[in-house]
Amino acid sequence: MDNLLTAFTLSIVEGLTEFLPVSSSGHLVLAGHLLNFIEARAATFVVVIQLGAILAVVVLYWKRFWGLVRPQPDMRFSGMRGIWFLMLTSLPACVLGLLLHPLIKCCLFKPSTVLIALVVGAVCMIWIERRKFRPTSTNLDEMTPRLALGIGCFQCLALWPGFSRSAATIMGGIFLGASRPLSAEYSFIAAVPIMVAATCFDLIKNLSLFSTADIPFFLVGLAGAFVSALLAVKVFVALVGRMSLLPFAAYRLLIAAVYCFMV
């Protein structure tokens, strides 16, 4: 594959953007084209390095994930109840992703479609912020099956590279009655099963494209994504209760405009 500097660059892009509502897949598609990393294996590489970002969330929220394995009496979102909610959230995107996988890979991993998704996502954020939704759930232990499934339906928007899984789930949560901090926190946690499923599916499907010589490239990508995602999630969690989605909407529009100007 390409040199390790390309892997490191893409891993930083992945880690910093995966859990922010700006679309990591969109940034990686645009960055890959700027770096001329557009071969057939590139799409699988940018999916696999998501595992580094996933590990960062597991480390940061290890108590919640441990609670899924060992139910905690003081946590309603634990044990089979928590697992059931995550299954409800993951199901819609898993089913739709499996059905549309060839179409998505063929038609949507392009700069033009990513730019449109960035703009559409920004417009949706502006609309959400102009409406005043009153939260009915403020923490994970107040999650309901309806809220978990509803967020999962919104998560399907993330199958369009450039829209952003984080943006879709956060906006979906706010729209359905979750508080802003809860929407962000659940977005991080719900990312783990859907991203693990997507990564494993894509890697198994395209395993024949790679050789042992590609291992260092993947290791650099995974490590860079892990470290940068740790930083991004910590900063976002600290800010999410005090800021709206409007700065992210402005950033998305700016990125789309700058990329169009550069090319």
DSSP string computed for the chain: ---HHHHHHHHHHHHHHTTTTT-HHHHHHHHHHHTT--STTHHHHHHHTHHHHHHHHHHHTHHHHHHHHS--TT-SSSHHHHHHHHHHHHHHHHHHHHHHHHHHHHHTSSHHHHHHHHHHHHHHHHHHHHS-PPPSB-SGGG--HHHHHHHHHHHGGGGSTTS-HHHHHHHHHHHHTB-HHHHHHHHHHHHHHHHHHHHHHHHHHTGGG--GGGHHHHHHHHHHHHHHHHHHHHHHHHHHTT--SHHHHHHHHHHHHHHHHH-
Question: For the chain, what is the mean pLDDT?
Answer: 88
Please give the Cα distance from 174 to 181 (Å, whole number): 9
Residue 263, pLDDT > 70, answer: no
Whether the CB-CB separation of 249 and 122 falls below 8 Å is answered with yes
Q: pLDDT tens-digit profile of 2-57?
A: 588 888 999 999 999 988 899 888 888 888 888 888 776 777 787 888 889 989 99
Boundaries of every domain in the chain: 4-262
Nearest to 158 by CA among 201, 204, 195: 195
The model's confidence at residue 116, banded by pLDDT at 50, 70 and 90, is very high
Q: pLDDT tens-digit profile of 230-249?
A: 998 888 877 876 788 999 99
Whether the CB-CB separation of 174 and 43 falls below 8 Å is answered with no
**How confident is the model over 160-169, as a mean pLDDT?**
91
Angle between the 111-130 and 24-34 helix axes, to the nearest 10 degrees?
A: 150
What is the pLDDT at residue 2?
A: 56
What is the pLDDT at residue 211?
A: 77
- Better-predicted residue by pLDDT, 83 or 208: 83
Give the rounded distance of the alpha carbon of 186 from its chain centre: 12
Residues 6+ apart with CB under 8 A from 106: none
Q: pLDDT tens-digit profile of 205-232?
A: 777 777 787 888 889 999 999 999 999 8
Residue 137: strand pairing partners: 178
**How confident is the model over 165-176, as a mean pLDDT?**
94
- Better-predicted residue by pLDDT, 7 or 146: 146
Residue 1, pLDDT > 60, answer: no
What is the pLDDT at residue 91?
A: 94
What is the pLDDT at residue 40?
A: 67
Question: For the whole model, what pTM was predicted?
Answer: 0.86
**How confident is the model over 114-133, as a mean pLDDT?**
93
The model's confidence at residue 145, banded by pLDDT at 50, 70 and 90, is very high
Residue 178: strand pairing partners: 137
